Homo-oligomer: A and B are copies of this chain.
């Protein structure tokens, strides 16, 4: 298995186990975000549901992954490319979901626009999800 996977786990004070290595490797070898079901039923592998839930939760807590909220009520996960500290994500980017192929991507090259909130309100975090059609699907 990739030595990079091992490094990431150790850097986050996590024991290196087969499940964690395999799941983390899925994210390193996929550019698109993955849903829980994608991981559980990944070709060739079969993980226990509970292990997948706990592994994803651990990775989010450690700042290795972040979640992407979607309108259809299915949470997807993606690698944090920035430096996220434990429990304090600050991925400064928004997300794109292709309505044709379902691909979910982090748009890291664009800055989150500033949004206004009512007077006396405090805005901590802005989640933006763009729905549309990706380049590959438009050509079909």
User: A residues within 8 Å of B by Cβ?
Assistant: 67, 69-71, 73-75, 94, 96, 99, 107, 109-110, 113-135, 138
Contacts and interface: CB of A to CB of B under 8 A. Distances in A.
A99 B124 CA distance: 9
Contacts of A116: 107, 110
A73 B75 contact: yes
B125 A131 contact: yes
A130 B126 contact: yes
A124 B130 CA distance: 7
Nearest to A69: B71
A117 B138 contact: no
A133 B120 CA distance: 9
A121 B94 contact: no
A130 B114 CA distance: 11
A127 B96 contact: no
A120 B96 CA distance: 13
A138 B69 CA distance: 26
A113 B130 CA distance: 12
Nearest to A98: B121
B119 A130 contact: no
A117 B96 contact: yes
Contacts of A67: 71
